[in-house]
Structure 1
Amino acid sequence: MSTSLSDTMAEIFAQGGILAQKLPGYESRPSQLRMAEAIAATLELSEEERLGQPGMLAVEAGTGTGKTLAYLVPAILSGQKVVVSTNTLNLQDQILTKEIPFIRKHLAPNLNALCIKGRQNYLCLYRWQQFLASPQRNLFADDRDTQRLADWLEETENGDRSELSWLADNAPLWQAITASASQCLGTNCPDNSSCFITQLRKKAGQAQLLVVNHHLFFSDLALRRFGHAEVLPRYESVIFDEAHHLESVATQYFGTSFSHYQVVDLVKDLETAAQADLVGRAKDGVIQTARALAKQVDLFAELFPRERGRFSLLQFIDRFPGWDEERQRFIDQIKGLCNQLAKTAMNGESWQGMQRRAEEMLASFTTITQAQDSSSVYWYERREKTVALSASPIDIASELQDFLYAQTRSVIFTSATLTTDNTFTYFANRIGLPKNTPTITLTTPFDYAQRTLLFVPGKGFPEPQAREFPAATQQLMQELIMAANGRTLVLFTSINAMRAAHEVFLGRLPFPVLMQGEAPKARLLEQFQEQTHSVLLAVASFWEGVDVVGESLSCVIIDKLPFEVPSDPVIMARMERIKNEGGNPFFDFQIPRAILTLRQGVGRLMRSSTDRGVLAICDVRLFSKQYGRLFLKSLPQSPICRELGPVRDFFQEES
């Protein structure tokens, strides 16, 4: 009788199994084995067992479970074509440089695995030739950098910009030669056979395991709805790690957007191409029409208020009496350019690409500004120098059901944070999981009860809306940092609060004080790890993906419960939908979102079984409000104290 895939997992993950024998320092963890068996069982469900549904599973795996190997091993041994999608490049790199080589060596010697990034990470050979021929190329790079790129092209197999460690993140040179979708000529391109994207598609077709990020996965899925494929070939099963990000990423790609910057970018490309390819009236016609559009888009952007942020487009339109005329004027201007480009398109494939970009821009602008679909929310974002308009789906569940779940053999979701109030209800509802989807919660193997303490200020402490809160919190943070002897990550819910605290701490703390924004994230974390008794202040992106093991991170302070300000148009529309359907937006939407964010922040403290430290949440609402118990129930089992004495004692026990 043949052994099932799930039975094989015990031979690999159990005590004395292959991992214990081959992986230095490996400890067998029952939760890791349980996760691997559940994923194996899901992947090997037959069509009859699936009853016409995909095999589905959601696993919350606490830090220290070893979830990456727990899904990679069954995925690879299943023999299926599997996509693993992560939210961060760090996790992609870890899978490719650490896990895959180990699995190849000990479990699957013939494994063909490939990492695929977004197109903007690859060089376009056609645009590179155009760049070399352009008389304006010195505006983008000096001859030395151009030569370095030419030398690299002689040896690179993938054309991946991550191989160019010397090239700055925002280098204009890369923008001029990147393989962006809007400028791709597809099969009409003279460089199609040697194109890095074409080669990547071929390699992807032959690979068994594809590692991508959520942005690439959903941009590909959004294109598939219209019968186009981007880079990903057909796959049988997909595993989402860091799955708590899926709703926000999918929302970006299932919507429509138009930006001031898109127009400026197209006009710049048109002027460059016209100077290089056209003569006489044809050249003058394109340049004049393009410049007229550039002027018109500047005027259009000026219609919007200067205040930065995201706002309702419908409210803006209601308050703007001349909207229909302004909208039509802009549509006429883009149509004029489309007509001009239709005449020029016979000059070659690149001109057909420009025409397609202009037509897509016209379609997006028209769709968004008509604002007729009640299942979408329409909004604009004002940035420093540009305005973007968007239509986003209020609910992505049905899109995922139709275009992902119905087309895929198995879909597996995992993250350290999928539950709120110990249930998967919020996550399952937001991404449209069938009611009978199996779920597993695997708690962290780390000993929070013995190795951590949770501090919440006592009764008299001001609540976040009180005027005294900022000063009281800064004073409290200072005392906690002194008790921890530095070694503290302080997470804020707003940039203003972070900056105000930074100013105060610089004059008062005897430790190096680092702040997000002063250097790249990786460099700041390096400094924080190296300077053991330092303090790092941060917001948003540092609430997750920060993995500082050891003494340098012995205290995590969170300024308050991370409720989002419900002024974001997409959030407001989702709350309104819940209200209209008879739900309670605060309990059904805002609290679960805040719990997931808080759990991510709290998860920064314990990164290995030998770590120990204090978690401090400077928000008395955990005890003064009824909903506070929902947050407390969702946190690790740390002993709670509400005075500073036990915190000082905890840190003194170390010495």
Structure 2
Amino acid sequence: MNVLTNKSSQRLHIDSQQAFDDGGVLSKHIRAYRPRLVQKQMAAAVSTAIIEKTNLVIEAGTGVGKTFAYLIPALLSGKQIIVSTGSKNLQEQLFFKDLPALLEMLDLSPKVALLKGRSNYLCQDLLDKQLEGCDSLDPKVLDDLLRINQWAGQTRDGDFGGLTSVSENADALTLIASSREKCSGKQCPHHDVCFTRKARVRAMDAKVIVVNHHLFFADRVLKDTGFADLLPDSDVVIFDEAHLLPDIAVTYFGQQISTRSLNELLNHVLEIYRLELRDSPQLQTLTTLCISQLQDWHNQVFDSGESDWRVLMGNRDLSGHSWSLLQELESLLSLLANHQGRSQALDDVQEKLNVLTNKLTVFFQCENAQAAYSVDFGHRYCILRISPINVARECRNLFDSQTAWVFTSATLQINQDLSLFTKGLGIDKSQQIILDSPFDYRAHALLCVPRHLSKVSNHEAAVSDLVDVAVKAINAAKGRTFILFTSHRMMNAVAVRLQSHIHYPLLLQGQGSKQNLMKKFRQLGNAVLLGTGAFWEGVDVRGRLLSCVIIDKLPFVSPNDTLYKARAESVSRDGRDPFTSISLPQAVISLNQGVGRLIRDERDRGVLILCDNRIVNREYGQAFLNSLPPMSRTRDMDKVVDFLQQIK
């Protein structure tokens, strides 16, 4: 049986606790280590969850040291472990830094594997095909492909994370990244050396596997990896950055169709026609017609600017065009069926196109009253989403009782209550713990909501107010500031004004990758960074490099968001208020994520400025204040300036 004996249970508790004591393994290997009671408390709770195979939900404030608090008991248990993260950055930090360090300290040597989504790996077959048809490629793309080809002969794992000679945003990467739609499986000439397949084999053979939430749900919910089940059954699953799980669960218990994938499949049919089946011109004619219909349909959807599919289907022209597109796709599928057996590649495309067409039919029919149907717009293509408004029941079946499930994050509670998170994921029975940060926020951090702010709904006045506040704070902080926004429109408007008001380097989201912008911010030492959602979490700047965080307004979800509207209607039918049940709790957690960028170390000092006076003059503002760290508070910008000028 896969159960710890009483003796080994006691040993796990004792060894886990001793690791954090003075004279324990951490103090022996980490310079200036000091025991933290909250870290030991978290480790004890994780040990109990592993021993008893129970659910543990634990909010661990910044500075608790949650990574070591869950890794040490998990590693000492000797169990099969999956650690799932919400970001690629944390995933790589765990695998390349934290796990190797701890395994050396603990003198353990289990097999460890890092597994990412397949789009993070090079497909050798796609690379070969792109180089074969290089005459038609853009020179920049070809140059990048040649660099990738050189790297391909040196890399052991094919993970683009180790590719430094090409930009992470390079167009070439999308052409040669592994994908299920383009995978030919065992028919591929590179099957034996396939990087994606080898990564899966390493994971199945490992004792400790580091994944991300998207991959975990793709494996457990969709079984849609192209290699059957991707992850082994495990004794312990630990979700770090667990606050992201509810939204990710919606994605995987729902359905999504990428029109880019549909377009690529249709173009693949044309390629097969040109290479193998030139005696069947009807293939070219009908496929070209489908591509044309899809393009016309795209144009209509993009021109509408509407993301709610139920609203879009009220447009008679668009509705008619949608069904015409579907009819042409079904005609093409009938034609492909007539050619079955003539081409392995065509048979493969037929199977994939049939799946996509069926999904498209379900989306167009729009029949599930308990789901939101939405369109997410990309540059040239879009994602069609069916999002269930409640995933608790599905998650309840996912989190089985044979596994110890640990959910942790720095932001899970609303008003000191974790039930919103547990109810959303259907976690009916769990130990719930809130561990406050050990940092001295009252002495080291100041929260300011400036007086005389205009209403945030008045865009022009709000921009002027924010710029005035930001200029004072930035000059006092000598740069060293994040300005976090809830919209790109506000960010861009403030950026234009700030350029002529400050003399410090200005870094704007979109000027480069998140990683490159953060690298520049650290190197410059006096920069001001403007960003939206991507910079509200997963960013760690310690010390005097970051002294001030400014947030434009409370991060409420847009009332026009398709999923929010569907959830709001459902909540209203139950006699509850959508604002207090959905909008407010989500905004509290989002604000906490942004606030968490400020104080990352016990020696850090800084100021948080919120340019939204609703937090102090609306009754619901208390919910935000009760959930924030216990910072000192002021409404006086002069005090902010004094505080910032004292940070050396």
TM-score by structure 1 length? 0.92
Matching residue of 2:424: 430
How many angstroms apart in 2 are the aligned matches of 1:136 and 1:509?
48
Code of the aligned partner of 1:465: S
Matching residue of 1:28: 35
2:387 to 367, 383, 392: 392
Contact 1:457 1:643 in 2 (8 A): yes
- Following superposition, the deviation at residue 492 of structure 1 comes to 1.7
Matching residue of 2:290: 293
Deviation string, structure 1 residues 459-499 (Cα, Å, up to 9, x no partner)? x4333234633322321222222332322211122222222
Mapping of residues 266-305 of structure 1, within 5 Å: 266-276=265-275, 278-282=276-280, 284-304=281-301
Contact 1:266 1:354 in 2 (8 A): yes
Secondary structure of the equivalent of 1:222? helix
2:442 to 439, 449, 452: 449
Matching residue of 2:545: 552
Mapping of residues 501-512 of structure 1, within 5 Å: 501-512=494-505
Matching residue of 1:485: 478
Q: May I ask how many residue pairs the two structures share in their alignment?
A: 640
- Following superposition, the deviation at residue 145 of structure 1 comes to 5.3
- Tell me, which stretches of 5 or more residues in structure 1 are unaligned? 46-53
- Following superposition, the deviation at residue 430 of structure 1 comes to 1.6
Matching residue of 2:628: 635
How many angstroms apart in 1 are the aligned matches of 2:518 and 2:96?
21
Contact 1:548 1:607 in 2 (8 A): yes
Residue 417 in structure 1 maps to residue 406 in structure 2: no
Matching residue of 2:312: 316
Code of the aligned partner of 1:473: L
Mapping of residues 527-566 of structure 1, within 5 Å: 527-566=520-559
Matching residue of 1:51: none
Deviation string, structure 1 residues 486-524 (Cα, Å, up to 9, x no partner)? 222111222222222222221122322222222322222
- Following superposition, the deviation at residue 620 of structure 1 comes to 1.6
Contact 1:200 1:231 in 2 (8 A): no
- Tell me, which stretches of 5 or more residues in structure 2 are unaligned? 1-6
How many angstroms apart in 1 are the aligned matches of 2:119 and 2:643?
49
* Gap change, CA 1:565 and 1:145, over 3 Å in 2: closer
- Following superposition, the deviation at residue 279 of structure 1 comes to 4.1
Matching residue of 1:89: 88
- Following superposition, the deviation at residue 306 of structure 1 comes to 1.5
Contact 2:180 2:225 in 1 (8 A): no
More deviation in 189-198 or 107-116? 189-198
Deviation string, structure 1 residues 227-251 (Cα, Å, up to 9, x no partner)? 9834222223211111111111122
1:329 to 299, 324, 338: 324
Matching residue of 1:179: 178
Secondary structure of the equivalent of 1:551? helix
Contact 1:557 1:618 in 2 (8 A): yes
How many angstroms apart in 1 are the aligned matches of 2:228 and 2:134?
35
Contact 2:141 2:172 in 1 (8 A): no
Code of the aligned partner of 2:457: Q
How many angstroms apart in 2 are the aligned matches of 1:469 and 1:164?
42
- Following superposition, the deviation at residue 349 of structure 1 comes to 3.3
Secondary structure of the equivalent of 2:316? coil
How many angstroms apart in 1 are the aligned matches of 2:515 and 2:190?
37
Matching residue of 2:568: 575
- Following superposition, the deviation at residue 390 of structure 1 comes to 2.0
How many angstroms apart in 2 are the aligned matches of 1:347 and 1:227?
23
How many angstroms apart in 1 are the aligned matches of 2:137 and 2:73?
51
Contact 1:257 1:365 in 2 (8 A): no
1:42 to 38, 41, 49: 49
How many angstroms apart in 1 are the aligned matches of 2:564 and 2:84?
25
Matching residue of 1:49: none
Secondary structure of the equivalent of 1:57? strand
More deviation in 503-512 or 167-176? 167-176
How many angstroms apart in 1 are the aligned matches of 2:147 and 2:617?
62
Residue 9 in structure 1 maps to residue 1 in structure 2: no
* Gap change, CA 1:281 and 1:196, over 3 Å in 2: same
Secondary structure of the equivalent of 1:537? strand
Secondary structure of the equivalent of 2:56? strand
TM-score by structure 2 length? 0.93
**Over 6 Å off, 4+ runs:** 140-144, 225-228
